[in-house]
Amino acid sequence: MNVVCDRAALLDAINLVSGVVASRSPRPQLTCVKLAATQSDGVGELVLAATDAEIALHITVPQVQVREPGEALIPADKLKQIISAEDNEATLTLETDGETCHIKGVDAHFKVYGYPPGEFPPVPDFQAASTGAGGGPPAKSVFSAEAGTLNLLVDRTLFATARENSRYAINGVLMKRDGRKVEMVATDGRRLALCKAQLAASEKDGDPASCIIPNKALTLLSRLLGTNNEPVHVAITDSQALFNIGAPEPSATGRATLSTNLVDGNFPPYEDVIPRDQDKKITFDRDVLFSGVKRAALLTNEESRGVRLAFDGKGKRVELTSRAPEMGEAQITLDVAEYDGDDVEIGFNPGFILEALRVIPDTQVLMELKASNKPGLIRSGADFTYVVMPVSLT
């Protein structure tokens, strides 16, 4: 293999694939990146691939001159360090000699020892998985969405997942597709985020399917997604979800393909968690509420991790208070745009409120309450619903 690469484009690609590489593994090949250089009709292409045996990613690097096609399997950490360090170079040359990779700049020559490329495990292929051409059954559901739609779904749910929990199913995000409707749901047992979106009219007859996607895969997906209108094709099989990013149609190969094993287990019946009988409805300016909660949270600690919200319907205002022993107290009064219902006091973890407000683009948000010991609801339009459990402040 002998290729000349734009250093910046190569660095972008290695930064992304490094997010998949296993940090520790008894199989050293899983700590490597596979490079495959090809040439067809005078057009060169370099593909970087990595996997940790659960998530796999391959990315096509643009701006490549392929002098000699070939493959290499190189430790990811050293490849990334070298490409990052050569920051004065516009281009770098990658050349292989057996299992050794030579990386050359104008005044530098690095020799990195690798492994036989044939020892790298196969990376799932989107077309084979979606059609069943790889020998398995075809995907249960295949659909296309714009990158902006998927980005919105991921951003509004991923933050609410459990980070460490014995209930493995809530360490991921539930994705459901039924015709044109697609939604994602996440919960950690103390709050729940639900976001809905509509696909293009051409997707109305698609097969319904649902799966639980691991947090790590969705974090990578959000980094991979490009411009809002870039096409992304999704395939859901019995054991995997695959994302083909940037291809004009599902049968073509995009600039990146991400595949992930699905989380085993049953997602909690989230429809039962969303309260239906809230009788107090308060409309806030999003930025005003964010500022008030953020300031009140300054005088909380791990022992008193709560902010009290006391609503005055007649005065159309809310008083936020917090206190932490040996630290002090905070009191902040905010006006509300609209208030419908009786007065009520309730306590929330301020971090849970702030995280939800950060992912809401609308300037106004609706909060719905029932009682001080009942969950609260935050809504943004018809597409985002956030349920948060109250905390005791006594």
Q: Where are the domains of the chain?
A: 2-119, 126-271, 274-388
pLDDT in tens, 37-80: 999 888 889 999 999 999 999 999 988 999 999 999 999 999 99
How big is the chain by its Cα radius of gyration, in Å? 25
Please give the C-alpha separations between residue 3 and each of 80, 127, 228, in angstroms, as whole numbers.
17, 27, 32
CATH topology identical between 126-271 and 274-388: yes
Pick one of 3.10.150.10, 2.60.120.1130, 3.90.730.10, 3.90.1150.10 as the CATH number of 126-271. Answer: 3.10.150.10
Question: What is the C-alpha to C-alpha distance for residues 148 and 234, in angstroms, rounded to an integer?
Answer: 14
Closest CA to 313 of 277, 282, 291: 282
CATH architecture of 274-388: Roll (3.10)
pLDDT band at 167 (very low <50, low <70, confident <90, very high): low
Tell me the percentage of the chain whose pLDDT exceeds 70. 98
Question: Is residue 159 over pLDDT 70?
Answer: yes
Question: Is residue 290 over pLDDT 70?
Answer: yes
Contact (CB, 8 A) for 117 and 71: yes
Mean pLDDT computed over 15-40: 92
CATH architecture of 2-119: Roll (3.10)
Q: 341: left (phi > 0), else alpha (psi -120 to 50), else beta?
A: left
Question: What is the C-alpha to C-alpha distance for residues 50 and 73, in angstroms, rounded to an integer?
Answer: 10
pLDDT in tens, 207-245: 899 999 999 999 999 999 988 899 999 999 999 999 999
80: tokens are 């990334």
- Tell me the β-bridge partners of 143: 234
Question: Is residue 370 over pLDDT 70?
Answer: yes
Question: Is residue 166 over pLDDT 70?
Answer: no
> What is residue 218's three-state secondary structure?
helix
pLDDT band at 165 (very low <50, low <70, confident <90, very high): low
Report the Cα 201 to chain-centroid distance in Å.
Answer: 25
Question: Is residue 134 over pLDDT 80?
Answer: no
pLDDT at 326: 82
Contact (CB, 8 A) for 152 and 146: no
- Across the chain, mean pLDDT equals 93
pLDDT at 207: 84
Report pTM: 0.93
Report the Cα 170 to chain-centroid distance in Å.
Answer: 15
pLDDT at 23: 80
Mean pLDDT computed over 325-354: 94
Report the Cα 109 to chain-centroid distance in Å.
Answer: 37
Mean pLDDT computed over 259-287: 94
> What is residue 119's three-state secondary structure?
helix
Q: Which residue has the higher pLDDT, 42 or 338?
A: 338
Tell the residue number behind the tokens 């714009």, with chain if given. Answer: 146
Tell me the percentage of the chain whose pLDDT exceeds 90. 84
pLDDT at 169: 75
